[in-house]
Amino acid sequence: MAKDVPEQGSFSAKDYHDPPPAPLIDAVELTKWSFYRAIIAEFIATLLFLYVTVCTVIGYKSQTDPNKPGVDQCGGVGILGIAWAFGGMIFILVYCTAGISGGHINPAVTFGLFLARKVSLIRAIMYMVAQCLGAICGVGLVKAFQNSNYNLYGGGANELATGYSTRVGLGAEIIGTFVLVYTVFSATDPKRSARDSHVPVLAPLPIGFAVFMVHLATIPITGTGINPARSLGAAVIYNKEKTWDDQWMFWVGPFIGAAIAAFYHQFILRAGAVKALGSFRSSTHV
């Protein structure tokens, strides 16, 4: 039997479906338990994220404190280990919460998804509130369990490092957040999800790895924010003047980076594909 050859210029049906844009204000959400369950998931996930990562930062500084007798300053987990703690926790928590809340765990991610109309305004605001409260509680637990070390070793707070200008710090936060949010969009793209559905762990893995790589690049500059809730939680509990002076950078930078990533993915990458398809179709009639 002869093979059926598709007619030249024909296109197969899409093997994925883009979800409809989320409404700007969806009051119906407020009547659903799934909405409040998602908020709780964001709160707990951000709490766990801050607890484990800030503990790692303080533990490293304690292990390498030159004022302690017999301390090996080359010991501890190092910057590499700190980056793995942040990236690894994001991988774990996104994997655990993606099916409940989407696994944002970061107001910048939520903001980017809101701009792309993936979540409603009400959900975005409530997620950000839950994330910030979770971050504050997570760092609060660290201080409660390790009060002396917490105050001695900087509380895991984000600050612009000595020797770097504000412009460099802000740029690091913008670019770092762009990498993260762009990865989120790419990893959760319906087209990619449909074609890689045999690998259910695919989305959390590159997101966690993006966090890891950004930390390697920006820990020496700002301590790596790229997550306003993470920066706010540490600032509220540590409560030092320098931390609050630099706090704006860890909100403005991530929100700008998230907005650029949303625009790039939604209006250049995805829209560009639609335009290319249309041009191919029109060329078959020439």
Cα diameter, the chain? 83
Could you tell me which residue, 122 or 15, shows the higher pLDDT?
A: 122
Computed over every residue of the chain, the mean pLDDT equals 87
pTM: 0.86
Chain-centroid distance, C-alpha 16: 25
Q: What ranges do the domains of the chain cover?
A: 27-64+73-268
CATH class of 27-64+73-268: mainly alpha
CA distance 68 to 4: 77
Q: Are 10 and 98 in contact (CB under 8 A)?
A: no
Give the whole-number percent of the chain exceeding pLDDT 70.
83
Residue 117 CB: number of other CB atoms within 10 A? 15
Helix, strand or coil, per DSSP, at residue 12: coil
CA distance 266 to 19: 13
Angle at 278 between CA 265 and CA 191, to 5 degrees: 40
In the predicted structure, residue 4 carries a pLDDT above the cut 80:
no
CA distance 256 to 146: 35
Find the mean pLDDT for residues 156-177.
Answer: 96
In which residue are the tokens 């696994």 written? 103
CA distance 105 to 127: 8
Find the mean pLDDT for residues 37-49.
Answer: 98
Q: Of 36, 210, 219, 243, which Cα lies nearest the Cα of 139?
A: 243
Q: Of 261, 20, 27, which Cα lies nearest the Cα of 123?
A: 27
In the predicted structure, residue 5 carries a pLDDT above the cut 70:
no
CA distance 283 to 125: 46
Model pLDDT, residue 245: 95
In the predicted structure, residue 1 carries a pLDDT above the cut 60:
no
Listed in sequence order, the DSSP H helices in the chain are 33-63, 78-97, 107-115, 121-145, 147-152, 166-187, 190-195, 204-222, 228-238, 241-245, 249-263, 271-283
In the predicted structure, residue 55 carries a pLDDT above the cut 60:
yes
pLDDT in tens, 195-235: 555 445 578 999 999 999 999 999 999 999 999 999 999 99
